[in-house]
Structure 1
């Protein structure tokens, strides 16, 4: 009789151990939390969000863009708007088409103001990524230029350079002053691209500037102008 009791106790312990293992496994497989339907991206909701700003031509224009910026709590001149436009692959400054909006917001998984605001840190982070920043910088040239012109007018170029390089390039203020007094009235794409390369590779004292390098004349003249100023 005592032996039988021991067997029953052992069997009971084994059964309890199996139950514990099953319970533990089930808990490990359960999601941390149930997915809220509001968290899921909705194309229908995204489209309705677009029509809060779009006109009859199905385009978010300059006035509606101001309202959009106000709603998301960002100034139109904030660089986040440039990064957002880049993400939407917008062709024209101050305008978002329906196709651009849906494609871009879908990639960001944003269908409302709050979700877009939650992406601000991500959008800012793109500016700290060397490759992403280069792509944004190059995108800005075509985004900002008049589409019937191949170059940027110099005032627009200065404004965009201030937005993109004003806080990070030690020589920006000096370069801006140079552009202000220069003969240049436009900046072409090659010049625009090379300004970024110059800002990344040439020292603030210009000591490593290669006069025989393949820099555009605009930058050769800038270096010469600055060296004259330094010698005074």
Structure 2
């Protein structure tokens, strides 16, 4: 039987989709390529069509929803429209699943908003044209976010670019801290002791770290996966391991503060 990576590569080669999409379809079809391809094309606008640019007729209900949230003078759904959509889906802006919603709609940055094509095409691909259908999809993603470590990691890494200000390479520490409190709250797929997270935030504040790099953002999650509590850091952390320098600084801070 072909290796999973080979199946993903072949799926991507045949469909030109993203590897994440390929994995999703293969996984839900027990890694059977033929079934996964059929599933994928069944959800493509028009199914097995030879003319990929054939116009799609979107459901009237879906078009009406776009018109409800669109910022007319810019022909996109801005942050206020997204907030209204989130509320209509019975979620709150601070709910972590709202980031899953942004990724589902292929939103690159919050400030960019959601185009008409993004909204219509991506909901159409999910088989959704009404708010109850959309809510069902988000409910499933919320469950997945709290139970599937691989999916949670994907959403976490996606968030860095989503939250970046325009023309910036690093996240403001205050912004990063807000998202960390969401991702590492009790009940998510990564179980982090609150004292560990609080000590990390206190370290950043005491050292006046004003920005968070992409590498720091990504590696902190890996650090917390491996060391979910202060006691785990104390007993298992090895300064010789290949962690970013800021993690070594954090470890020294914990020692100096007698937290470990």
**What TM-score, normalized to structure 1?**
0.76
Q: Distance in 2 between matches of 1:151 and 1:231?
A: 29
Q: Distance in 1 between matches of 2:228 and 2:180?
A: 18
2:70 alignment partner, one of 49, 54, 58: 54
2:99 alignment partner, one of 78, 82, 89: 82
**Partners of 2:173 and 2:211 within 8 A in 1:** yes
| 2:253 aligned partner | 225
CA 210–100 in structure 1, closer or farther in 2 if over 3 Å, else same: farther
Where structure 2 has 5 or more consecutive residues not aligned to the other structure, the ranges are 1-56
Q: Distance in 1 between matches of 2:192 and 2:256?
A: 21
1:104 alignment partner, one of 122, 130, 133: 122
Q: Distance in 1 between matches of 2:176 and 2:219?
A: 13
Where structure 1 has 5 or more consecutive residues not aligned to the other structure, the ranges are 1-41
**Partners of 1:72 and 1:117 within 8 A in 2:** yes
TM-superposed deviation, 1:116: 1.3
Q: Deviations over 1:99-150 (max 9, x none)?
A: 2212321232221111112223311122121211111011000000113001
> In the alignment, does 2:243 pair up with 1:215?
yes
> In the alignment, does 2:116 pair up with 1:116?
no
> In the alignment, does 2:84 pair up with 1:67?
yes
- Decide which structure has the larger Cα Rg and report it: 1
Partner SS, residue 219 of structure 1: helix
> In the alignment, does 2:203 pair up with 1:178?
yes
Tell me how many residue pairs correspond in the alignment. 191
Partner SS, residue 184 of structure 1: coil
> In the alignment, does 2:159 pair up with 1:140?
yes
| 2:7 aligned partner | none
| 1:125 aligned partner | 143
> In the alignment, does 2:220 pair up with 1:190?
no
| 1:43 aligned partner | 58
**Partners of 1:166 and 1:173 within 8 A in 2:** no
Partner SS, residue 132 of structure 2: helix
TM-superposed deviation, 1:231: 5.9
TM-superposed deviation, 1:164: 1.1
**Partners of 1:166 and 1:172 within 8 A in 2:** no
List structure 1 segments (4+ residues) > 6 angstroms apart after TM superposition: none
Q: Deviations over 1:166-195 (max 9, x none)?
A: 333112122122222222111111111100
| 1:19 aligned partner | none
CA 129–191 in structure 1, closer or farther in 2 if over 3 Å, else same: same
Q: Distance in 2 between matches of 1:222 and 1:209?
A: 11
Q: Distance in 1 between matches of 2:162 and 2:118?
A: 13
1:169 alignment partner, one of 179, 189, 192: 192
**What TM-score, normalized to structure 2?**
0.68
